[in-house]
Structure 1
Amino acid sequence: MSRFAPDLAAADIAPVILAAPAWARIDITVRDPRLRARAAETLARTILEELDRDSPGRDANQLSLAL
């Protein structure tokens, strides 16, 4: 994980997992592979959305470079 987000720690992700829907946190442990996969996808989506929300937005005062 440090390769992609060097300033991200497990302590940053844990609250996001706890904020995920309860059914996803419970279903990640069931035997049915379809439910487990759906729960894992929901947990991953929740983490990505929260991390994306915390990322700095685009500054309107910064000029974009033409490539």
Structure 2
Amino acid sequence: MTTLSNGEKFNSPKPLKKNIKKLAKFQRKLFQKTLGSKRQEKTKLRVAKLYTIIDIRTDFLHI
């Protein structure tokens, strides 16, 4: 939570709670793919994108 000097309050974003199930699903799919395949690369990129979404909270706290 952030409070401005004029008393206005902002809640911090909670992307982890929204995306934790999706992340688990894509991680399971990633390890079921054949090593070095094109589909593994696509799934790896999806997992990486989800990690950047989850990092929004830490970025918000350190601005």
Using the size of structure 2 for normalisation, the TM-score is: 0.45
Quick check: which one's strand share is greater? Answer: 2
Of structures 1 and 2, the one with the larger relative CO (CA 8 A, separation 6+) is 2
Greater helix share, structure number? 2
- Relative to the length of structure 1, the TM-score reads 0.43
